[in-house]
Amino acid sequence: MSTALARPSSRENPPSAPPAVAVEGGLDRALRDYLAHLSVERGLSANTVAAYRRDLVRYAAFLGTTGRSGLSGITESDVTAFVEAVRQGADGGRPLSPSSTARALAAVRGWHRFAQAEGLAVDDPSAEVRAPTQLRRLPHALSVDDVAGLLDAAGAGDGPLPQRDRALLELLYATGARISEIVGLDVDGVGDRTAVRLLGKGSKERVVPVGSFARDAVEAYLVRARPALAAAGRGTPALFLNTRGARMSRQTAWAALQAAAARAGLTEHVSPHTLRHSFATHLLSGGADVRVVQELLGHASVTTTQIYTMVTPDALREVYAAAHPRAR
């Protein structure tokens, strides 16, 4: 089987933004300084900085309930209590999964390291705090037939939106891109339609080939649908537009995917990342080298990509049934 990813022929809702929380006094100033450092000096993307802000606003609000007004008086016990509070939702927010709790702790550690380096605190109370143990789970991927049904469902109907949604989902599956990378594309980013230039995490750029199904869908959208959507806007260069002629948001793209999944009769959880997982899984199943898939996904480390090489439960059952003398 070819290692090229061919388009087959044949629910969880996105997380809502946390409520605004007032952060007062020295914590407010320290938080603003740190977020500015992440954005300006470290050059992190707006999405990454927003994620840090959500976690750190929650942390600062928790510290406020303990009477802390600055970073200098925080103890290791305070950080440990915060980790436990967000894990259980005891601080009034939603409970976090082990992976989300680990992400929040990473944000807290970064803030404390910054405070120590800037002389805002003598030590780092988060240094010895450990995150909850995370279970290593196989990424969820759709079958080839389910992907085909999803993409067909996205293009069902009349008007410019089905053509836009078909092109969007075809491109997501063809490239394995993150949803933020796809909605961030401009028209000139697809060039001659044979490849796309994606701007990934850390502002790292990569070029990913595009198969014929996605090329045809994007071409049809550009010729027949995008002009009608662009007429309502002000000449944005964005590839994918909303009904107001402006750049499509991640939330709108997510909603388009959910609607297509419902029409396709997919009852399992389907997110934009599901198509990314499916892209990687189908490539590796077709014999692609894991390091090539790493480059296509934009992973900094091959270790991140290697999770896709783990044997799935279905594959285990098939091998067992075929090989064990008493399996039948």
Residue 189 or 114, more confident: 114
- The kind and range of the H/E element at 47 are helix 46-65
Which pair of structure tokens corresponds to residue 322?
Answer: 């075929």
| Amino acid 110: pLDDT | 94
Task: Work out the pLDDT band at 97, boundaries 50, 70, 90.
Answer: confident
Q: Report in angstroms the alpha-carbon separations of 6 from 140, 211, 257, 299.
A: 19, 7, 20, 22
Task: Work out the pLDDT band at 3, boundaries 50, 70, 90.
Answer: very low
Domains and CATH numbers, the chain: 25-117 (1.10.150), 146-272 (1.10.443.10)
Q: pLDDT tens for residues 122-164?
A: 889 999 998 877 655 656 889 999 999 999 999 999 999 999 9
pTM: 0.60
Number of H helices, E strands in the chain: 14, 2
| Amino acid 314: pLDDT | 64
Neighbours of 84 (CB within 10 A): 13
Q: pLDDT tens for residues 242-297?
A: 999 999 999 999 999 999 999 999 988 898 889 988 998 888 888 888 888 888 88
Task: Work out the pLDDT band at 6, boundaries 50, 70, 90.
Answer: very low
Q: pLDDT tens for residues 207-254?
A: 889 999 999 999 999 999 999 999 999 999 999 999 999 999 999 999
Which pair of structure tokens corresponds to residue 239?
Answer: 């590839």
- The kind and range of the H/E element at 207 are strand 205-209
What is the maximal distance between C-alpha atoms in the chain?
71
| Amino acid 288: pLDDT | 85
- Residue 286 makes CB contacts below 8 A (sequence gap 6+) with 1, 2, 3, 4, 5
Neighbours of 83 (CB within 10 A): 23
Q: What residues does 186 pair with on adjacent strands?
A: 238
Distance CA 92, CA 288 (A): 46
Task: Work out the pLDDT band at 313, boundaries 50, 70, 90.
Answer: low
Distance CA 219, CA 325 (A): 53
For range 177-194, the mean pLDDT: 89
Which residues are catalytic, by number? 178, 201, 273, 276, 299, 308
| Amino acid 312: pLDDT | 58
Distance CA 129, CA 102 (A): 11
Least confident segment among 91-95, 156-160, 277-281, 301-305: 301-305
Sign of CA dihedral 289, 292, 298, 301: positive
